[in-house]
Amino acid sequence: MTTFEQINTEYADAHQGGVDYGSKVRVLMRSPDKIMFVGYGINIKKRGKSGWPTKICDDSKKDTVAQEKVRNLVIEHFGENADEWLIKAVTTRGRGTILVDSGGDKLSLPQAERAKIFRQEYAKISPTHETYPKELKTCMQCGDNLQIKTEYVYIGHDAPHENHPKTIEDCQRRSNTQVVKINGFASNTPREWWPYIAFYYTWDGESYKDDHFCSDECAGKYGRRAAIELDKLPIIKP
């Protein structure tokens, strides 16, 4: 006997059966061997089979899915009473997915959701971190901290191994100047490399990219103020 269970609405990857349905598709029904989803209408697709999904109607409105020809197709693919459960799926806010015979494996999440989860996992593992000094010289125009002049130190793509640095303290033991930033390996490197450091930056405690201004814009503004407020300087011809 076929079993049905209504659950919170599921969304899946937009690529189904060789067709791109946009950013994602809404899963209406899934069983161990078939799925029904909304993508330019309602479609049914066999799991693990090549070939395009079969479109059974043009939209997921109650009046559309209640049509006899649609009901018959749903029953044919998902069993007796599946048509009534489909109507529940399209009319119940937030609970628009029906599991048939426990539903089988979940479908792959939409690409945007997979990317978000991937970024979160990477952020938890990557040691990338900065610890710039709090007391720095400030810009003569705006008062913001000046940009320090750092040195780049490359460790190399030889992770993971026992002695490869994983913390800012590990890097500090390699340097005679202050380590101000560490960078982990990129997210497209093997996952086992993520906890290790690829390169870092050091600061000698006194060098700045500019000793007076944080940007060319601030230098220009300060110069214009000086031209107005101070005595006129002599002209220097080239």
Cα gap 52→43, rounded to integer Å: 10
Question: Is the same domain home to 89 and 162?
Answer: no
Say if 81 falls within a structural domain. Answer: yes
Question: Is the same domain home to 199 and 163?
Answer: yes
Say if 10 falls within a structural domain. Answer: yes
Cα gap 220→82, rounded to integer Å: 72
What is the domain extent for residue 61?
4-113
Those residues with Cβ within 8 angstroms of residue 133's Cβ, 6 or more apart along the chain or in another chain: 148, 178, 180, 203, 205
Cα gap 101→150, rounded to integer Å: 61
From residue 83, give the alpha-carbon distance in Å to each of 1, 32, 41, 53, 103: 15, 18, 16, 19, 16
Question: Is the same domain home to 96 and 156?
Answer: no
Say if 121 falls within a structural domain. Answer: no
**Which of these three, 60, 80, 113, is where a domain ends?**
113
| pLDDT digit string (tens) for the chain, length 238 residues | 899 999 999 999 999 988 999 999 999 999 999 999 999 999 999 998 778 899 999 999 999 999 999 999 999 999 999 999 999 999 999 999 999 999 999 999 999 999 999 999 999 999 999 998 888 999 999 999 999 999 999 987 776 777 899 999 999 999 999 999 999 999 999 999 999 999 999 999 999 999 999 999 999 999 898 888 877 767 777 6
Question: Is the same domain home to 108 and 12?
Answer: yes
Count of CB atoms within 10 A of residue 230's CB? 8
Say if 236 falls within a structural domain. Answer: no
Torsion from C-alpha of 85, 86, 88, 91, nearest 10 degrees: 180
Structure tokens of 23?
Answer: 């950013």
**Which of these three, 75, 90, 113, is where a domain ends?**
113
- The total domain count for the chain is 2
Question: Is the same domain home to 151 and 183?
Answer: yes
Cα gap 200→177, rounded to integer Å: 12
pLDDT at position 185: 93
Inter-helix orientation angle 82-91/68-78, to 10°: 110
Question: Is the same domain home to 139 and 101?
Answer: no
Question: Is the same domain home to 57 and 89?
Answer: yes
Question: Is the same domain home to 99 and 144?
Answer: no
Chain centroid to CA 104: 27
Token pair 């049509």 in the structure block, residue: 67
Which residues, in sequence order, are bridge partners of residue 55? Answer: 43
**Which of these three, 113, 141, 165, is where a domain ends?**
113
CB contact at 8 A, 214 and 139: yes
Say if 194 falls within a structural domain. Answer: yes
